[in-house]
């Protein structure tokens, strides 16, 4: 297939682009570079062994989308172009609704106009909120706790309504848990602009000496060590899940929902210890108040993805930390350091 990867210069999108090319697909990346870099696109090309066309543009720009669809005969879209930080979404909800919801509506409209009706959507386990039981399967009632999570759930409804109006649509909704790690080559990884909003990138920067210490937001949760529990999924495993989802859509219409996760959760302190082992560096920390919108436990039941997509996670927390440290230690200031 020829696939448009929106947000493909960002963290997850860039890894997905590499795996798509490895699986034999042709890829075009579209990104507004708010969280991505041209250097990431260049790294995709090096790792893929061929140039990957890049369009600098925004999913809210109808004219840009029309030009892109007119220039390429796409079969499908993998949609990663979203803002994704829980805390930031609490502070800037309008920005999140404008980009994540309005942007997706614009993208769907232009896809339909150009006859492209296959999408794999990057959703999130955040739509589940703080469920009473774990692991979480796809039948768990949604209860989003942050503006970010609500934008993801609204887009899921938008996708279902789009299919209800036109049964030719083929849509995969992937609710994934905490994407972490980096490509094993060390050539590509997460490069957050400003202060990292997620745990492992921040831990990596502390270990590298870029930041003084980690803030642990709450140590009084009802967990074994008082810190929140998350299901940490290697970004390469996650990227391969998108390839499997695209293959799945090739044989059926409709809307499918799958969790992508390992099925095992780790506390913040477990992550810190694992990263210290991988990096041979100390990660100083201090306890800070809980953050609005954070949940206690988020851990996947990935059985449906295994049964229907033929996908399971291969890498564990140790491998996640090793690959992330390989990226962080060889790119201490990320792609932006290369640009400078």
DSSP-derived secondary structure for 195-259:
S--SHHHHHHHHHTTSSS-EEEE-S-SSSTTSS-EE-EEEHHHHHHHHHHHHHHHTT--EEEEEE
**Greatest pairwise CA separation for the chain in angstroms:** 55
SS3 173: strand
Backbone angles phi, psi at 145, to 5 degrees: -110, 0
Give me 256's structure tokens: 């499918």
Report which of 181, 148, 143 is spatially closest to residue 313, judged by C-alpha positions: 181
The tally of CA atoms less than 13 A away on the side-chain side of residue 152 is 30
Report which of 317, 320, 284, 314 is spatially closest to residue 302, judged by C-alpha positions: 314
- Cα separation of 223 and 18, whole Å? 37
The tally of CA atoms less than 13 A away on the side-chain side of residue 12 is 28
Q: Are 191 and 43 in contact (CB under 8 A)?
A: no
Q: Are 122 and 173 in contact (CB under 8 A)?
A: no
> Position of tokens 């893929």?
48
Backbone angles phi, psi at 113, to 5 degrees: -65, -30
> Position of tokens 């998108």?
242
SS3 110: helix
Which residues are annotated as catalytic?
Answer: 148
Backbone angles phi, psi at 246, to 5 degrees: -65, -40
How is residue 261 annotated by DSSP?
A: S
SS3 6: strand
């Amino acid at each position: 297939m020829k696939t448009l990867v929106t947000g493909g210069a960002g963290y997850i999108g860039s890894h997905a682009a590499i795996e798509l090319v490895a699986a034999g697909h042709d890829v075009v990346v579209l990104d507004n570079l708010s969280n991505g870099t041209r250097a990431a696109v260049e790294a995709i090309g090096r790792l893929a062994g061929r140039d990957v066309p890049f369009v600098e543009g925004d999913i809210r720009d109808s004219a840009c989308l029309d030009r892109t669809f007119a220039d390429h005969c796409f079969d499908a879209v993998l949609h990663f172009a979203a803002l994704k930080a829980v805390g930031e979404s609490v502070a800037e909800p309008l920005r999140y609704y404008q980009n994540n919801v309005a942007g997706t509506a614009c993208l769907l409209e232009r896809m339909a106009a150009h006859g492209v009706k296959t999408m794999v959507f990057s959703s999130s386990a955040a739509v589940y909120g703080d469920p009473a039981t774990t692991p979480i399967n796809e039948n768990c009632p949604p209860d989003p706790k942050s503006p970010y999570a609500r934008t993801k759930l609204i887009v899921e409804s938008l996708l279902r309504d789009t299919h209800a109006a036109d049964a030719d649509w083929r849509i995969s909704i992937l609710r994934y848990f905490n994407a972490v790690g980096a490509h094993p080559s060390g050539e590509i990884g997460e490069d957050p602009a400003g202060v990292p909003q997620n745990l492992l990138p921040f831990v990596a920067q502390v270990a590298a000496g870029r930041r003084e210490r980690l803030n642990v937001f709450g140590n009084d949760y009802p967990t074994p060590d008082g810190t929140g529990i998350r299901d940490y999924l290697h970004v390469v495993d996650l990227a391969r899940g998108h390839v499997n989802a695209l293959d799945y859509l090739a044989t059926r219409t409709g809307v499918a929902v799958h969790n992508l996760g390992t099925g095992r959760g780790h506390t913040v302190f477990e992550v810190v210890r694992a990263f210290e082992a991988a990096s041979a560096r100390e990660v100083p920390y201090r306890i800070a108040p809980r953050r609005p919108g954070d949940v206690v436990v988020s851990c996947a039941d990935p059985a449906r993805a295994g049964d229907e997509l033929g996908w399971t996670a291969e890498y564990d927390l140790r491998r996640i930390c090793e690959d992330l440290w390989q990226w962080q230690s060889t790119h201490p200031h990320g792609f932006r350091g290369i640009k400078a």
